[in-house]
Amino acid sequence: MKSWLRKGMLAAAIALPALSGAALAQSDEGCSNATLKGDYAFAVTAYTPPGLPDGPPQVVVGIETLDGKGKFTQRDYRGDSLRTIGQTDFSTGETGTYAVNSDCTGSAVINQNVPGTPPPHGWIKIVLVISGGGRSTHGVVSKFIPPGFTTPQPTQTRFDSWKVGSEQDN
């Protein structure tokens, strides 16, 4: 066997246990609701079938403020260059709750109490993962009930968020 190949295999054999130890150390620290605290900028890409609220494709940007105890508020803006939905600025505050597991996975629920929309108000359930010690999150919608509906509707929606003004930004 060529010496460079042996050296590469040896390096991999040494690195893999070291890397798995680093991964174990990170999960030993764990996460909690307190891991997510402060302002986070977010971006959403969504596809909802035609005929349903917010369908078909859309993009959204916004900012959310998490309290470190399981509650948040957010303001967002839907990309709408044709002005078909009439949004001219960031929405008023939506509210929600979140729960973080020790393995840095979690979930959140956004309450869609849209002013002027009669009950039932909608909600969005999200499943998420936390990375970078709470500097970013990544998630997908697991259940979508738009305002005016009583049953879940199909959607394929994902998001990413990044802590605003984190130490990594300096």
Q: How does pLDDT run along the chain (170 residues), one tens digit per residue?
A: 444 333 343 344 434 343 333 333 334 579 999 999 999 999 998 887 777 666 667 788 999 999 999 999 999 888 765 655 666 677 777 899 999 999 999 999 998 866 666 666 888 999 999 999 999 999 999 998 888 888 888 888 999 999 998 555 44
Task: Assess whether 72 and 142 both reside in one domain.
Answer: yes
Q: Which domain holds residue 45?
A: 33-169
- Give the pLDDT score at 161: 96
φ, ψ (nearest 5 deg) of residue 144: -130, 115
Specify the pTM. 0.72
- Check whether residue 15 and residue 64 sit in a common domain: no
Q: How far apart are CA 129 and CA 104, in angstroms?
A: 6
161 and 103 in a common domain? yes
Give how many domains the chain has, as a whole number.
2
Query: What pLDDT was estimated at residue 25?
Result: 33
Lookup: tokens for 36 = 């997510």
